[in-house]
Structure 1
Amino acid sequence: MARPDPTYLAYRAGSAVSRALPARAVPAAADVAGRVASRVLPSRRLIVERNLRRVHGDDLDGAALARAVDGTFSSYAHYWLESFRLPGSDPDLLDEKMTVVGLEHVQAGLDAGTGSILALPHLGAWEWAAFWLTEVKGMDVSVVVEPIEPPELADWFVGLREALGMEVITLGPHAGAACSKALKQNRVLALLCDRDLGGGGIPVDLLGEATTLPGGPATLALRTGAPLIPAIVTFDIDGGHLGQADPPLDTTRTGSLRQDVARVTQDLAHALERLIRRAPDQWHLLQPNWPSDHAALAAAGLAPPPEPSSPDT
């Protein structure tokens, strides 16, 4: 029998440790883990530095930039510790610590029978909102995740999300049809969309620099009539969570499908900018996302970070 993959074992161990921690110990544990990670992952640290400078400009430098980078890594560790602790959580306690602004935009899509698309950046703790929507609000939620290796780790992550009441759609050739089906079933569809995984996305300007974003969210909204709602879920200062759903983007058909997808995707890029600026220290995008990122890594003598071994990085 083949031995379990070390990455799989590491995530299982991390899950066990996080669930054993008292709730009051989670922030301190996340801070320690984040500081360690920020120092042993130089390629990812450089990417976080560049992302923070894109948000804050050249005024963020030196010690202030170093603190902000540490804060982002600690926030990312906090995200994982909390996610591992979610299965079996008390929905009443979850609701008590959850504040949501703009839920009416999500409900409007369900009332219209089109489903609703939540377009999210890799920011904060979106799984808490998905769990809250299913357990507290009784909404049906589908999420799209990227395929990962090894298979046992992929299966474990799927089980983790399904235990929280989500339908999991793995990104691949059949994902588009599965997403359309979810919307036809009047579900909430959550899409992380600030990174173009396939490399064949739509050219946009994001935070003042040219890159590409996936065209799937705009295409789905234009084809199905489901509202495309930019949203984030952040860690709040009181130990709770703040969910924010902005008004839907304008997906009125004005030209060819190609032209409309390009227009809506650029509008989505601007919406993501506004969301990211609300909590840039919680933006957990640790992979190169602009062409210039690859040049910066090469200039620093750093290899690009390996593709993520979890479905949310």
Structure 2
Amino acid sequence: MNLLQSLLYSRLAVVLGLGISQSLPPSLGYRIADLGAALVAARSQSAIVRAIYVNQWVVRGGNLTHSEMRKLTRKILRLHARNLYIYFHTLNRPQEVLERVSFSPEFQVLFDRLLQEGGPALIVTPHLSNFDLAGRALALRGLRFQVLSYPQPPGAYRWQNRLRRESGIEVTPISMSALQQARARLQNGGVVLTGIDRPVSETRYFPRFFGRPAPLPVFHVRLALQLNLPIILVACVGVGDGRYAVVARPPVPMQPAETLERSLLQNAEAVLHEAEVLIRQVPDQWAMFYPVWPEVASVLPF
């Protein structure tokens, strides 16, 4: 992690962002968010910008010019900065959160079933749009769930997890005990949610994502196979004017294969395919700032 990433992901950055966002109206908050995004985008060799280059290059078929990529990067960072502003700005405004986040008809059916009948439900999500705000809307509407988050989180992530807990969300960084807790929760009819598109540093498994092998997690697939559960992919999608919709894809049933490795890979790829469908619809909203395909960095033409 370079200096820029260290600063952006520091506890100080979260505290400053929270303080500024809560004290400023949108007219000023958006302007400061736009300025911050422009400053980050200008560092064309930073790890964050290069990660966006890698990820968008793959998602968009590898046919962007340098000028197009730079313009796209500024747009992605601007959207993300505004989403962060809205998330922080509404932390103490629960009614505004509910007004900003709606449910698609498909997700509403799932949500109503979970509230009325309970789970078990293993839900996964890509890092699309204002995913933290969507999680807060779920909690405010009465859904109780455990989030399996990034293991050994640095300072900024610990503060973000603290904010999630204060919103009524049970956050457990991934560990053996957290996975055991998630398994027990599912066995008792609960709901577990986790991300699926952040690359992991050490793995034996490289499921294909957008046609390329990627070092992405498969623990959710292992859980689903063990408990014979389908995996449900949901996501937050921006619909304009600072408003969002929570959408859902059809549940993915697990299909055991001849070996555990094959089972993990083929089912992970089936779930990732559902994520691809949503990301292709709104690629500008994919807020993944780590290179999902690190080997692509060496072949980028710029």
TM-based fold match above 0.5: yes
Query: Per-residue displacement from partner, 1:130-159 (whole Å, max 9, x unpaired)?
Result: 1111112x1102212222234xx5553332
Partner of 1:269: 272
**1:132 equivalenced with 2:137 (yes/no):** yes
1:110·1:186 contact (CA, 8 Å) conserved in 2?
Answer: no
1:234·1:241 contact (CA, 8 Å) conserved in 2?
Answer: yes
> What is the Cα deviation at residue 254 of structure 1?
5.4
**1:32 equivalenced with 2:35 (yes/no):** yes
1:208 to 182, 203, 211: 211
Q: TM-score, normalised by structure 1?
A: 0.82
Partner of 2:22: 19
Specify whether residues 74 and 182 from structure 1 end up closer, same or farther in structure 2 by C-alpha distance, changes over 3 A only: farther
Partner of 1:97: 100
Partner of 1:243: 246
User: Please, which runs of 5 or more residues in structure 2 have no aligned partner?
Assistant: 1-5
**1:73 equivalenced with 2:77 (yes/no):** yes
SS where residue 284 of structure 2 aligns? Answer: helix
> What is the Cα deviation at residue 110 of structure 1?
6.4
> What is the Cα deviation at residue 80 of structure 1?
2.2
State how far apart, in whole Å, the 2-side matches of 1:156 and 1:209 are: 33
> What is the Cα deviation at residue 247 of structure 1?
0.8
State how far apart, in whole Å, the 2-side matches of 1:48 and 1:121 are: 15
Partner of 2:55: 51
**1:119 equivalenced with 2:124 (yes/no):** yes
SS where residue 240 of structure 2 aligns? Answer: coil
SS where residue 236 of structure 2 aligns? Answer: strand
1:47·1:286 contact (CA, 8 Å) conserved in 2?
Answer: yes
> What is the Cα deviation at residue 113 of structure 1?
4.7
State how far apart, in whole Å, the 2-side matches of 1:94 and 1:148 are: 26
State how far apart, in whole Å, the 1-side matches of 2:17 and 2:83 are: 12
Q: After the TM superposition, which of the residue ranges 161-170 and 228-237 deviates more from structure 2?
A: 228-237
Partner of 2:233: 230
2:225·2:256 contact (CA, 8 Å) conserved in 1?
Answer: yes
1:88 to 88, 92, 97: 92
SS where residue 176 of structure 2 aligns? Answer: coil
1:204·1:266 contact (CA, 8 Å) conserved in 2?
Answer: yes
Q: Percent identity?
A: 21
Specify whether residues 281 and 112 from structure 1 end up closer, same or farther in structure 2 by C-alpha distance, changes over 3 A only: same
State how far apart, in whole Å, the 1-side matches of 2:87 and 2:181 are: 25
Specify whether residues 158 and 96 from structure 1 end up closer, same or farther in structure 2 by C-alpha distance, changes over 3 A only: closer
- Write the letter of the residue equivalent to 1:11: V
> What is the Cα deviation at residue 224 of structure 1?
2.3
**1:196 equivalenced with 2:213 (yes/no):** no
State how far apart, in whole Å, the 2-side matches of 1:188 and 1:145 are: 14
Specify whether residues 279 and 84 from structure 1 end up closer, same or farther in structure 2 by C-alpha distance, changes over 3 A only: same
User: Please, which runs of 5 or more residues in structure 1 have no aligned partner?
Assistant: 301-313
Specify whether residues 227 and 114 from structure 1 end up closer, same or farther in structure 2 by C-alpha distance, changes over 3 A only: farther
State how far apart, in whole Å, the 2-side matches of 1:41 and 1:15 are: 26
Query: Per-residue displacement from partner, 1:230-263 (whole Å, max 9, x unpaired)?
Result: 1210222132111111111122445554432222
**1:182 equivalenced with 2:185 (yes/no):** yes
Q: After the TM superposition, which of the residue ranges 36-45 and 275-284 deviates more from structure 2?
A: 36-45
Count of residues in Structure 1 that have an aligned counterpart in Structure 2: 291
SS where residue 59 of structure 2 aligns? Answer: helix
> What is the Cα deviation at residue 175 of structure 1?
2.4
Query: Per-residue displacement from partner, 1:35-76 (whole Å, max 9, x unpaired)?
Result: 111123623212212222222224432433221110111122
Query: Per-residue displacement from partner, 1:256-282 (whole Å, max 9, x unpaired)?
Result: 544322221011221221121121111
**1:144 equivalenced with 2:148 (yes/no):** yes
